[in-house]
Structure 1
């Protein structure tokens, strides 16, 4: 399925406004794909975002549609402010985004004495500046609907730190603080803002990082988490049932670090 143009995205605007629309950034990855699929199964129409892996976003959309859901792919770099502005305009031409899952992220690890400036900047740009680039222009349309859910997918590294990930921990820790502050700003308009901080999750990205013995050593439940388990938590926070939960960071890490 090809990525939509702005013209195609505006087709059927009246129908589009009968459902709540969600945007899941980084939905070409394992966690993001699971989140997008789960939100669609709950009845949301989902923008499935990718940056480099447009083919995976198309596959996620096809899977959602095959199951009877509604989804559209969209491709842009969250670290590129101009690209974000264009993408936001395309999505808002269809309907306001009322569920936003900021899941796009990268890591580029090195101990601080050997970290290059580019490693620091790129990780901050995608994980933290990307949050601003996507969230800020979507806020006013969301607030006008007087209902919204924003979920930021962060990391245990932002809570406990991690050797070799000062850049990543700084970005995710910044997201935790931004989550709290933004939640206070928008709470009176029916919008909640929370963060989900996964620990070791079995994904393609983490496959070569931790072996089974190391996971048993680090995680009290002695296994890696599953992308679907993260998706289920995100989907709950994005639902009507979570309307009294805001400004929180919820760890999902098998007990490896107690917040």
Structure 2
């Protein structure tokens, strides 16, 4: 009988980024499954706690306001103080809020890529694409079905919705181009740079659509309005 064990006959014998910590590949499969299940639940709880704190911090940042002075002849001081948001809602949703909701899968993919000598593994990219597909299809479907039958809802910022919807579909087409046509199964440096630049382009176009820049006649400023860096605030 051989004096050493052939690791190929054991399930999950290959060393991962962290686990196994000890040589437990000779243990019974039920024992190993229970051990890894407890570890998985522990990791999920940790991610949930961190994500909850992270999202609370982002909501605190994006809800920050400042006081501006608006001319008002009827007031004794000649002006009145108005509290306005510092962050534009569209920019906040596309940057910090999106980062907070997608932070777990992004970090997971980064850790796997770095630990795997910059080769994609079986978890990271699939998690990001699956999360994006879930947001695009499942969440939108649930939001539509949640509306009672006689009631209706309308999209307020239809221009912003159109831009974000276009980029949501274009992202999948761009992945097909760079992974199947341009350089099959390899992401080159220029492809990564162009892909990253699509994000500020999306934010800029969505912000311009939200403020109606170069997309039609600019809304008239009311007498009681104030012109700020983030657009017109009507009182």
Say whether the fold is shared (TM-score over 0.5): no
Q: Which has the higher contact order (CA 8 A, sep 6+)?
A: 1
Q: Specify which structure has the higher proportion of strand.
A: 1
Q: Between Structure 1 and Structure 2, whose CA radius of gyration is higher?
A: 2
Normalised to the residue count of structure 1, the TM-score between the two structures is 0.28
* More helix by percentage: 2
